[in-house]
């Protein structure tokens, strides 16, 4: 065993435990802690896991819903097969992915959408946080469309500018919305989880969560970059409007 392996495992008990118990990622413990506190997943539930690779959350979801339940995992990256789950490659921002998910559900209604979605990190916090916020808001839109009244939604989001826009959009869609930071998140991490319970009946003028977020960002002086200067629309990324003197 290398010295580095020994030191990393000594420092990080979640990593050590995940490996010992056969979980594919230490993040499995974040979902376990969320589940312990909020009891989101129940036996027999149908669950969509957004951003499932390599599969730690999917493994925990299967344990919770049991054999009578259904777990569908989706990620941009390929996830090796997990007993008892359907895993697919797909971009959650694309309509074709949603159609494939609905196909896998085969008429069953979802009880919960769980999302640990995260961008490929650039190391520049403002950029990573802006993209995380946008991805989580997209996940909220997917959950809002697919969940019937009473359903639950969890998503990861990085703390920072604009997060209130996401929280407000969640509050008009779910009757109980809160933030929770599991102790299994790394100490230095700025991630938190939005826990949304009891999907409300869809209202006619709900709009999309993304529209809600963009209005909020505009109100605090941040605009979504729609043009990258080369005449191409950028999908993600926000830009601060400099304050006028």
| Cβ at position 136, least distance to ligand SAM in Å | 10
| Cβ at position 155, least distance to ligand SAM in Å | 11
Looking at beta carbons only, is 150 or 160 nearer to ligand SAM?
160
53 counts as binding ligand SAM under rule CB under 6 A: yes
One character per residue 128-147, x = contact with ligand SAM (rule: CB under 6 A): -------x------------
169 counts as binding ligand SAM under rule CB under 6 A: no
Q: How many CA atoms lie within 13 A of 153 on its CB side?
A: 33
Catalytic site includes residue 156: yes
Distance CA 174, CA 144 (A): 9
One character per residue 98-127, x = contact with ligand SAM (rule: CB under 6 A): ------------------xxxx--------
Distance CA 244, CA 221 (A): 11
Task: Identify the bridge partners of residue 158 per DSSP, sorted by sequence position.
Answer: 191
| Cβ at position 205, least distance to ligand SAM in Å | 27
Distance CA 44, CA 57 (A): 17
52 counts as binding ligand SAM under rule CB under 6 A: yes
Q: Which range, of 11-19, 91-99, 208-216, 234-242, touches ligand SAM by CB under 6 A?
A: 91-99
Looking at beta carbons only, is 119 or 160 nearer to ligand SAM?
119
Please select the residue that binds ligand SAM; options are 14, 18, 27, 85, rule is CB under 6 A.
Answer: 27
- Number of CB atoms found within 10 A of residue 53's CB: 21
Looking at beta carbons only, is 53 or 173 nearer to ligand SAM?
53
Please select the residue that binds ligand SAM; options are 19, 77, 108, 109, rule is CB under 6 A.
Answer: 77
The catalytic residues are: 156
Q: Which residues bind ligand SAM (CB under 6 A)?
A: 24-25, 27-28, 51-57, 74-77, 91-93, 116-119, 135
């Amino acid at each position: 065993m290398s010295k580095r392996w020994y030191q990393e495992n000594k420092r990080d008990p979640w990593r050590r435990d995940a490996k010992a118990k056969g979980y594919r990622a230490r993040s499995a413990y974040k979902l376990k802690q969320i589940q312990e506190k909020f009891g989101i997943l129940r036996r027999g539930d149908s669950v969509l896991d957004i951003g499932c690779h390599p599969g730690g959350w999917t493994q925990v979801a299967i344990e919770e819903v049991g054999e009578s339940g259904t777990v569908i995992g989706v990620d941009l990256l390929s996830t090796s097969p997990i007993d008892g789950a359907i895993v697919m490659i797909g971009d959650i921002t694309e309509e074709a992915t949603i159609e494939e998910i609905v196909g896998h559900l085969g008429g069953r209604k979802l009880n919960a959408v769980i999302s640990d979605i995260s961008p490929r990190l650039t190391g520049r916090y403002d950029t990573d946080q802006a993209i995380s916020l946008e991805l989580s808001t997209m996940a909220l839109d997917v959950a809002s469309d697919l969940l019937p009244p009473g359903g639950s939604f969890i998503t990861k989001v990085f703390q920072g500018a604009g997060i209130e826009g996401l929280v407000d959009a969640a509050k008009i869609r779910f009757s109980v919305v809160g933030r929770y930071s599991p102790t299994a998140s790394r100490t230095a991490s700025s991630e938190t989880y939005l826990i949304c319970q009891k999907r409300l009946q869809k209202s006619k003028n709900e709009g999309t969560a993304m529209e809600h977020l963009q209005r909020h960002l505009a109100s605090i002086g941040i605009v979504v970059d729609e043009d990258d200067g080369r005449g191409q629309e950028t999908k993600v990324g926000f830009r601060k409007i400099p304050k006028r003197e």
